[in-house]
Amino acid sequence: MSSGLKILELTFDEFLEILHTRYGKGIYHARVIYREVFQNGILDLKNTRAFSNSQNFAHAITSDLEINTGKLIEIKKEDGTTKFITRLQDDHEIESVVIPMATHNTICVSSQVGCRFGCKFCQTGQLGFARNLTTEEIIGQVYSAKFKLNLIARNIVFMGMGEPFDNFENVIQAVRVLNDQRGFNVALRYITISTVGEKTAIQKLSSLGMKGLRLSISLNASNDRIRTQIMPSRKISSMETLRHTLIHYPFSKKETIFITYVLIQNINDTYEDALELAEYVKPIPSKINVIPYNPRSASPFESPSTEKVMQFCNWLAECGVFIRKRSPKGQDVMAACGQLGKIKKS
């Protein structure tokens, strides 16, 4: 009977401690196993050269390792973007996206089944909240992309289904596992957590001392009136509280925060919005990602024209704001920002 050693939830040091306590093995065997699983995707260790003289242990650890990455049930591709849907052990489904960039791939991972924040422009927000993902289920998305789909990502962004800070402990543990040099070895500067911006969670993150970890704020408005209209959850901090929190966030000199602004036609796209946004971010070391709205199912909102997007970006630039316009990718297969999650028809 399997003892359920969930290695995908463990950093190397945590795995080493369990290996020593349970099997009496030390750092040599721990390094081999951790490397084989995380770097090579090998789960059957019986034929590994390092265990040629330890076959009883090889059989035992192979039997005990428990890796539940779920079942890939659907893969959709568009212009190099790959969306894959995973069915979890309890039959819930999550979606992940691998996005090709100029020199590397970025994987967008989910942190929850559904979301409790209900942002009106977001597909996931219409699903309601089912549950948090485990650390294993979060890591499993990266594992599946690498070893099942042969898609290796340099950057990892927590911008899929769910609010990452609403699943704080499991997300942070996933970051630690991803960052472990003996495993996936993803530098913190290549990991981004996107959040709607709740003061307590941001302060909690700042206390962890995870220097280099990227933070992205899903702002999407220049004032509270518009923001509460499209992001109605009472859990979200006011914009003034959020700004005060970000001003006091312990950035290093070279670090900036990403401010995501989903541009929605006739909602947050005026000249006054641009001026107010520029004034809001002035004291925050930040870069603004302007994302043209990607329509969700049965959306009450419309996407802005290309000309309107460029005009809005130019207004911000004239105010001295550093901006980056994100081009939609995977929109036709519902893989773009704000489009993840399948709404089941009643």
- Active-site residue set: 337
Closest CA to 201 of 175, 232, 167, 230: 167
Closest CA to 160 of 111, 220, 117: 111
The answer to whether 280 and 239 are in contact (CB under 8 A) is yes
Question: Widest CA span of the chain, in angstroms?
Answer: 72
Query: What DSSP designation does 216 have?
Result: E
In whole angstroms, give the CA distance from residue 8 to residue 68.
Answer: 9
In whole angstroms, give the CA distance from residue 249 to residue 327.
Answer: 29
Other C-beta atoms closer than 10 Å to the C-beta of 183 total 21
Cα within 13 Å of Cα(252), Cβ side:
9
Runs of H (alpha helix) within the chain: 12-23, 27-40, 55-64, 135-147, 168-179, 199-206, 224-230, 239-247, 271-281, 306-318
Query: What DSSP designation does 334 have?
Result: T
Burial class (CB in 10 A: 0-12, 13-18, 19+), 68: middle
Closest CA to 33 of 16, 9, 14: 16
φ, ψ at 279 (rounded to 5°): -65, -40
Beta strands 81-87; 71-78: pairing state: antiparallel
